[in-house]
Structure 1
């Protein structure tokens, strides 16, 4: 079967180790099911894998990809939940110490077929296309959990979303607006600020700009470059939720601000299968949909990853076998 996979790892030139070609079809495992992939979307996790993060040389070749929608062996249209917990784990899959994501231990979704635990399949509503559904399991699910599970934001509150051009941030804009929140966004790029406004952001600001007033919550996956601004932007008792650190993992602590203003600092990673089901229901009932930058054939996985790496993408890049 056709697949995009890591053949070798290179931190400085990640795409050097990418191959798009024939791989064996997945072998059956007890409790697992084959899904014929109809659409898969790209994430920065794919580029990190090509850099060697989370993979060892002896695991190669490893098929990339965590997000997919498709048709299972019984003909059901499904969305793949990419958090793989251990068989004996019960409850929130993201808290399993031995959890992994597809393409870390088991082959991923950038292929004509993918093998996943049966419990990782979520029914796809007919109103949501395969391409749209494939955008949801990583970026959109992460944003959903940050906004509504971790920060527990209610309509009428104000949320600041740092770095409005990224996949998680752009998903958070659409979801927050649909839930009745006032949405403010920052970005270094006027083009990305305009993109954020087109998604529904009420206001957009340059990165680090002084805001008209403090906010109830901040969604931050940038890390070091925005952390101080995020803390200073919060009302007393406000909440910052972080899911990543693309600009660096060692932000200034500013603990005095945290305890004097009784701020809440929460970490968040991905989301559960149940939350993915909730997210699909939210899209089905509200009509909101992911913004898709482009849809390409799987054979053009390299070109899709080049676009993602260039940071010029707006929305999701989707590959179809």
Structure 2
């Protein structure tokens, strides 16, 4: 079957080890089912995998991809949740399971014509959503949903700053925050990115690192090292930073004096639960909000999508179709 995969890591030149070609069909497993993939979205996790981050050589070759939408063995249109629960009998928030893993870390990923997944990882795809839109929800959009509505404690009418306006999680934060009645400000490196965020519904857009007209109630952080100091300095006393990633590096200046003196909260957030994904899907149905898709490409042309993400040429999600 056609798949996008990695056989050896390259920390410095990830595109050089991206392979697009034939891989064996997945083998059935008890309690799992096979999904015919119709669309899969690209995430920064996939670039990290090409670099070997969290994916040692001994687990390769590994098919990439953490989420998808497609058709199950019974002909149902489904959304594939990317979190695989690793501990038998685990109860409660699956993102807290110390043995949890994403597709493409321990189990073969979703960037292929077919993928086997635990049955509990499937949710019905609403007819209102295209396969491409549905494929954006389980990782990037679910991450944004959890950051805003589970972790932040922000309320409608408050102001939230989204750092890095054009990525998959960032565009989801803009759309979801606006739909929930938050005043959404963004930062972006270029005028095009800032204009695109405004078109999505952001109230104001600023250059990266710019001094804001006033301090904000919360900051949503996925950028890391490049924006951390600005995030801390942009908060009101008692404000909150929710961080779910660090695409520019994991070693920010701590700014601890500001954190304790102004009593800031720094909260980590990782993806979301199956129940939260169900709530996100319901929100999309009832409000009409939809993922911002930058480009859809056939899986055979996935290299172009990876290059766009690596070079920062994105405005929303990159989706591969089959």
Residue aligning to 2:198: 197
Aligned 1:136-215 pairs, distance under 5 A: 136-215=137-216
On the 8 A contact 2:165/2:194 being kept in 1, the answer is yes
Residue aligning to 2:252: 251
TM-score scaled by length of structure 2 = 0.97
- 1:31-60 CA-to-partner distances (Å, cap 9, x unmatched) read 111111011111111111111111121211
Q: Does 1:17 align with 2:17?
A: yes
The SS at the match of 1:183 is strand
- 1:93-122 CA-to-partner distances (Å, cap 9, x unmatched) read 111111110000001111011111111111
On the 8 A contact 1:8/1:18 being kept in 2, the answer is no
Q: Distance in 2 between matches of 1:127 and 1:96?
A: 33
- 5+ long unaligned stretches in structure 2: none
Q: Distance in 2 between matches of 1:254 and 1:43?
A: 29
Query: CA shift at 1:281, angstroms?
Result: 0.5
Aligned 1:262-273 pairs, distance under 5 A: 262-273=263-274
Query: CA shift at 1:152, angstroms?
Result: 2.5
On the 8 A contact 2:40/2:136 being kept in 1, the answer is yes
Q: Does 1:289 align with 2:260?
A: no
Residue aligning to 1:27: 27
On the 8 A contact 1:132/1:289 being kept in 2, the answer is yes
Query: CA shift at 1:311, angstroms?
Result: 0.9
Q: Distance in 2 between matches of 1:241 and 1:39?
A: 29
Query: CA shift at 1:125, angstroms?
Result: 1.0
Q: Distance in 2 between matches of 1:14 and 1:110?
A: 17
The two structures, once aligned, show a CA RMSD in angstroms of 1.0
Residue aligning to 2:276: 275
Which has the higher mean CA deviation after the structures are superposed, 250-259 or 89-98?
A: 250-259
Aligned 1:1-321 pairs, distance under 5 A: 1-86=1-86, 87-321=88-322
Q: Distance in 1 between matches of 2:97 and 2:191?
A: 40
- 1:64-118 CA-to-partner distances (Å, cap 9, x unmatched) read 0012001111111110110111222111111111111000000111101111111
- 1:193-229 CA-to-partner distances (Å, cap 9, x unmatched) read 1111011000011111111111111001111221111
Which has the higher mean CA deviation after the structures are superposed, 254-263 or 115-124?
A: 254-263
Q: Distance in 1 between matches of 2:15 and 2:313?
A: 17
Which has the higher mean CA deviation after the structures are superposed, 309-318 or 142-151?
A: 309-318
Q: Distance in 2 between matches of 1:260 and 1:58?
A: 47
Q: Distance in 1 between matches of 2:121 and 2:170?
A: 25
Q: Distance in 1 between matches of 2:318 and 2:167?
A: 12
Query: CA shift at 1:153, angstroms?
Result: 2.0
Aligned length: 321
On the 8 A contact 1:158/1:183 being kept in 2, the answer is yes
On the 8 A contact 2:44/2:247 being kept in 1, the answer is no
Query: CA shift at 1:256, angstroms?
Result: 2.1
- 1:11-34 CA-to-partner distances (Å, cap 9, x unmatched) read 111122121111111111111111
The SS at the match of 1:34 is strand
Q: Distance in 2 between matches of 1:152 and 1:134?
A: 27
Q: Distance in 1 between matches of 2:90 and 2:9?
A: 31
- 1:151-183 CA-to-partner distances (Å, cap 9, x unmatched) read 022211110111111111111001000111101
